[in-house]
Structure 1
Amino acid sequence: MSTPPSSTPPSSAHPSSAHPSSGVVDIFDSRALAARRRRALALGPETFLIDRVAEDLADRLGAVKRQFATAVDLGTPTSALAAALAGSGMVERLLAAGPSERADVDVVADPEALPFAPESLDLVVSALALQTVNDLPGQLAQIRRALRPDGLLLAAFFGSGTLAELREAFAVAESETLGGISPRVAPFADLRDLGGLLQRAGLALPVADVDRITVRYGDPLALLRDLRRMGAANPLTDRRRTPLLRKTLARLFEVYAERFSDPDGRLRATFEIAWISGWAPHESQQKPLRPGSAKLRLADALKVPEGRLPGES
């Protein structure tokens, strides 16, 4: 999600590319994503955030009051979701699908091209993975095709307010020390767009909401270390490929402390968790009434006289 203080060696930059057939822009560098996941595993992953989201997802799924026969955990970077659902009785069979960097996956899957047959799954869940998919509308459509009628998608991923503090501090520091800014924090999906994306994918009863988690740190370097150990360092295709300068890093720390510190001196970092859910259409689901099918006028329901708006004849 951001660039840690010690960057990879410089390499030739290449601009974002688009797939000719689809027009999808590669915002995220898949090779960089894989390298960051491998490095996180080597360093020892930081899991406090994924563990919390996994527990929240299990709680939300429990509210459905239903058992799902065949489920897929799509892209979750650790086994936290499997652990949270184990023994709950909500899922009979849970398959882990994702990149090969996670050694315990049951199905190695490219997030841009899912390998599941149409109407083969009862449930798809995902925790903190979908934010780095280049074609989110396309992936949601693929999930919809893989769900059986009345199957459920329930996912959580980073929303647009994530790391707003770091984004602002980086922008100020680079502008002042380098004369311009570079992409440092991923352009996460906005909550206002997610309901429309679910409907566009053909999912019924779409719901999107957001949860904000504030984590406090002693200094920005501790935050950057956590991001590295989450595998969440900057994966953007258009990222700056040269190491971060000491003067830029020093100014980053100053700006962060000036603008985002609490009275006790600790610094705030916001993680916005966007939640989405939607169902594959089924005849048993509630459907909105057709326009004009109401049997009672609003004025009668409210027991008030029906009037006219100013200017109406």
Structure 2
Amino acid sequence: MSLDSKAIARQFGRAADSYDGHAALQREVGERLMERLDGLRFEPQRILDLGCGTGAQSQALHQRFPGARLIASDLAGPMLVQAARRRGWWRKRFDLVQADARALPIAEDSLDLVYCNLMLQWCEDPAAVFANLRRALKPGGLLLISTFGLDTLRELRQAWAAADSHPHVGRFTDVQRLGSALTRAGFAEPVLDTDWITSTYSRPQELLSELKGIGATNADQARTRGLTSPTRLRRMLRAYETFRQDDGRYPATWEVVYASAWAPEHGQPMRTEQGEEASIPISRLGRLQR
């Protein structure tokens, strides 16, 4: 699958005003991701909220770390307009940056924490994103990610497959590939776990409306352009009937993958596909040789 980044920016930009009214799942996953910080003796001074959307998680990060400088970044400018409205009195510690996650305008070794809630599935090249984040994190910095796994929206995908041969639902990652990508990017101690959430709806159309309301529509380069025909939509809805529960409601499965990983301290061995290697600054080599 090849993603259309311009289409992604447009669709999330159009959804900026309606996003918060449809983003209950995103808030729930964000809270669960934030819980990964519980118990850590960790006080970040510079935080990046990558894929910040309307800024709900940026606000939560500020409440948790009120002394930190926060950068909220998103690909869609209208989302940042909404995020700006949340800044309030703490705007002096809150910067807004419109950027592609693969090419963030952030200095090397400048961040203590990168928090990325349900954004990675919209990236064409997650490996490039991880390499960029590894560069931007200080040694000992933490990366926290949530993204969608392979089982996400399986009911909708199967229903559309019965209607036509075109892609309508995104292809999501699996845990093993995500962990391997983190390791290849040079992160240490990656920890991954998976959670399943099932939403239910009185009609499948409610799910479609929710996806449109948050901007999560099809961005596959191979998608059909223009409106879906009524005939194909009816076929999909008939196919979705096979998933109707005993209570008459229609389920939608979300497989959520959580990942945490650290930027290794200088000299700390990090596992690669060739074994373990250590990173030591040139300034320390002379002292080590004496």
Q: Is 1:47 the equivalent of 2:23?
A: yes
Q: Corresponding residue for 1:300?
A: none
**1:254 to 2:225 alignment:** no
2:149 is the counterpart of 1:172: no
What displacement does 1:112 show?
A: 2.1
Which of 145, 148, 164 is the aligned partner of 2:135?
A: 145
Residue 229 of structure 2 aligns with which residue? 245
* Residue type of the alignment partner of 1:269: A
TM (norm. structure 2) is 0.83
2:35 is matched with: 59
Question: Structure 2: where are the runs of 5+ without partners?
Answer: 85-94, 276-290
Q: Computing the radius of gyration over CA atoms, which structure comes out larger, 1 or 2? A: 1
1:118 corresponds to: 108
Question: 1:169·1:252 contact (CA, 8 Å) conserved in 2?
Answer: yes
Between stretches 105-114 and 142-151, larger displacement belongs to 105-114
Which residue of 1 is the match for residue 124 of structure 2? 134
- Partner Cα distance (1:44, 1:194) in 2: 27
Letter in 2 for 1:73: D
The sequence identity of aligned pairs, in percent, is: 39
Q: What is the match of residue 184 of structure 2?
A: 200
Question: What secondary structure, in the 3-state scheme, does the structure 1 residue paired with 2:26 have?
Answer: helix
Out of 153, 172, 190, which is 1:188 matched to? Answer: 172
Task: Please say if residues 264 and 270 of structure 2, whose CA atoms lie closer than 8 Å, have aligned partners that are also in contact.
Answer: no
Superposed counterparts of 1:291-306, under 5 Å: none
Q: Is the 8 A contact 2:114 2:144 kept in 1?
A: yes
Tell me the residue number matched to 1:86. 62
Structure-1 residue corresponding to 2:9: 34
In 2: Cα distance, 1:238 partner to 1:136 partner = 20
Partner of 1:101: 78
Alignment partner, residue 264 of structure 1? 247
**Matching residue of 1:298:** none
Counterparts of 2:130 and 2:270 in 1: how far apart (Å)? 21
Q: Distance in 2 between matches of 1:160 and 1:193?
A: 11
Q: Name the residue aligned to 2:152.
A: 162
Could you list the runs of 5+ residues in structure 1 that have no partner in the other structure? Answer: 1-15, 17-26, 175-180, 292-313
RCO higher in structure (CA 8 A, sep ≥6):
1
3-state DSSP of counterpart to 1:106: strand
Determine the structure 2 residue equivalent to 1:233. 217
Structure 1's 90 and 197: CA in aligned 2 closer, same or farther, altered over 3 A?
farther
| Higher share in strand | 2
Query: Could you tell me how far apart the structure 2 residues matched to 1:238 and 1:91 are?
Result: 45
Relative to its length, the structure with more helix (as a share) is: 2
After superposition, the Cα gap between the structure-2 partners of 1:196 and 1:167, relative to the gap in structure 1 and judged at 3 Å, is: same
The one-character-per-residue Cα deviations of 1:45-76 (angstroms, maximum 9, x if unpaired) are 41201111221122111232311111100112
**Match for 1:205: what amino acid?**
E
Question: Hey, what's the Cα distance between the residues in 1 that align with 2:133 and 2:65?
Answer: 23
CA RMSD of aligned residues (A): 2.1
Contact 1:75 1:126 in 2 (8 A): yes
Secondary structure in 2 matching 1:268: strand
Distance of 1:90 and 1:198 partners within structure 2: 29
Aligned residues: 257
Residue 273 of structure 1 aligns with which residue? 256
1:187-215 deviation digits (Å, cap 9, x = unpaired): 11111211111100000001121111100
Name the TM-score, length of structure 1 as normaliser. Answer: 0.77
